[in-house]
Structure 1
Amino acid sequence: SIEVDEGAKISEGDIILQLDSGEVLAPIGGRITEIKASPGQEVTPDEVLAVMITTAQTELPVQPVGLLSRIFQYGIMWQVIPPLIFLCLGALTDFGPMIANPRTLLLGAAAQFGVYFAFFAALLSGFNIAEAASIGIIGGAEGPTTIYVTSILAPHIIGATAVACYTYMALVPIIQPPIIRLLTTKKERAIYMKPQLREVSTREKILFPIIASIIVILVVPLSAPLIGMFMVGNLFAMSGVTERLSKTASTAFIDILTIFLTLCIGATMTADNFLLPRT
């Protein structure tokens, strides 16, 4: 039985769904816990011991030890935390100005030049193709994307790429002002540009993430985890019917995920694998 205080709002469907999910998942095992012989089958003790030793040799070296190791293994190496962060980023994003002025898409497209520049620079520096691709994503100035790609292609440099990406993003406010002063005059910087954007309807804001995710996933199927979660988070914010989920994703949940992400990445940056000339 479940006792609920008067006034509390708990959906019975949510509780039943979670209970049923646990019942379904509980019997599913991912390792050998016992060895059974069919009727009439002869199994010698040596054969049983051989199976147990083989199982231990294949499983024990890859089992994480400790809290951070488990979070890193199951949260980052299994590509769980980065897509969840994209869910939160989607809840924080408003595509309204871009829908009203589609030309701003060119600003996002310009970021791809940074990706290719960093990619070819890494190749010329002696990194292999997988490492160069992981480093190239840094040019897009997106931390979760960098970590996601590096965890797949080159997990041994995930600490270095994460530090480089977030350091680069943090230095943008320092790098931009002198470049702006160099390329523009004081009079040009003082020009006031009155916004001339049309009103974007709620229907447009809801349809955009749906249509965009379908197109992007069809063109680049491997982007489905990130794009799908990003657009789902945006739907949370734009639909107007999941205000609690949107608020949670854009505040507490993204903070929790960021703590887990940064702690785990930092734990991989030991001196023997980080303080190297190539990193």
Structure 2
Amino acid sequence: MNDRIRTDIAHNARVWNYWLGGKDNYPVDRAVGDQVTSLHPSIGAVARADRAFLGRVVTQLAAEAGVRQFLDIGTGLPTVDNTHEVAQRVAPDARIVYVDNDPIVLTHARALLTGSAQGATEYVDADARDPEAIVKAAAETLDFSRPVAILMLGILNFVLDTDEARSIVRTLMAAVPSGSYLVLTHPTDDPELGGEANAEAMAFWNANATPPITARGRADFASFLDGLDLLEPGIVSCARWGAPRAADVAQYGAVGRKP
């Protein structure tokens, strides 16, 4: 067992895995996950909507925009339809780099590293707060002179300082050329998406689990996409991006293209 793995405190990657119906979690994760669900009954729907958003976006970018390189930061534990599986189903030559610094994700990395023979699937052990290190490591697999789709699904909410989160995004997007994409999801406390429940649920989470998390409103979420051209339908609940009839969940989603 990796000595960095704590089984006495709930961790986001494992709780998220639990909400998605996975088995890579411990009793403490399930207990905290159940308590969060009691405070925020739709959190399971959020997790599923976020995963479905990933599939729709990666499919569209690979099939319609011709993207062949994906940098997935904050990978989480492998489930079904991981980024490389979705992308390489459309384009077998797609190249995917996963980034995470969670030790339990690292122990499952081999499950991720099974892509197509024509493409590439690699894993980088790095922190989202060190974008320069991410770019340097990813450059061993990705060609940063060609467009890259950078995915940050449910990851900037663990960067509590909004200015720092903006700086991370700016650094990453500065490293990729015109025609690249930024794909984001982020929990919100905005009432129009039913986000009120996030306040109590996140307070409980921050007292009982790791890493600490924050919700953000639409304006702060939009600021991460400054300077990018938003793909339709713009900034919406991630459940409704590419699925306009879906019910809202309290998680924004958007895709921006670097002009």
Q: Same fold (TM over 0.5)?
A: no
Higher relative contact order (CA 8 A, sep 6+): 1
Q: Considering only CA atoms, is the larger Rg found in Structure 1 or Structure 2?
A: 1
> Which bracket does the TM-score occupy, shorter chain normalised?
under 0.3
Q: Which one has the bigger helix percentage? A: 1
TM-score by length of 1: 0.25
TM-score by length of 2: 0.26
